[in-house]
Structure 1
């Protein structure tokens, strides 16, 4: 039953805005946030500081996780809902 579900989820994601990026987020893992150094302190950039492409990628990471979680039955959702990124969910299911 997993193969059928996976195929349906992939088709659903591909029909979303930026569908290819959503699937790439699942396959490759989430955006690695760029770092900046301010006053000798290195920290990740804030969302509003990201380039347009990186911001879309960050949004796709969130959408990917959300799509996967919405497509799960409640008993499976309870087992995997604590994972932070879509790639972990995809591999765990």
Structure 2
């Protein structure tokens, strides 16, 4: 039998990502990944969480050519959003979306600990460390429980 809070959480599952339950990080992780995959550019959003943000890089504009045929270039500068191709803009936008999705479903106390991060991968990794333990396997966690 489900509780009212389970029913409310299930009712909102199509429109909002699942709220993090501190006692079950692995389940939340799986559910939020499924939620993201169902979104437009979901694979790009997951890529942002798993691999880090898209790097804008640098560019140089062409000023012209010399009489000898050499190309004259401006000094190198950081690329801006306007410099990106349509594909790159989708990846950049997915980074922003990934950060928003992950942050909006964290409890306030966890959000306060990691709100200085603006990159989805850093947020995701910190939540994982806080709740899932570092690199402990399931067997390691079970053995620790038995000892205490």
RMSD (Å) for aligned C-alpha atoms: 1.1
Once the two structures are TM-superposed, the CA of residue 10 in structure 1 deviates from its matched residue by 0.4
What do the CA deviations read for 1:31-51 (whole angstroms, capped 9, x no partner)? Answer: 0113113532x2221101100
Which of 96, 99, 120 is 1:86 aligned to? Answer: 120
TM-score, length-scaled by structure 1 = 0.92
Q: In terms of Rg, which structure is larger?
A: 2
Runs of 5+ unmatched residues, structure 2? 1-23, 62-73, 128-148
- CA distance, structure 2, for counterparts of residue 43 and residue 6 of structure 1: 38
TM-score, length-scaled by structure 2 = 0.59
Larger RCO of the pair (alpha carbons < 8 Å, separation 6+)? 1
The residue aligned with 1:12 is: 35
Stretches of 4+ aligned residues off by more than 6 angstroms: none
- CA distance, structure 2, for counterparts of residue 70 and residue 47 of structure 1: 25
Q: Is the 8 A contact 1:27 1:87 kept in 2?
A: yes
- CA distance, structure 1, for counterparts of residue 104 and residue 96 of structure 2: 12
What does 1:51-90 correspond to in 2, within 5 Å?
A: 51-90=85-124
Paired residues, what number? 92
- CA distance, structure 1, for counterparts of residue 119 and residue 89 of structure 2: 16
- CA distance, structure 1, for counterparts of residue 77 and residue 49 of structure 2: 25
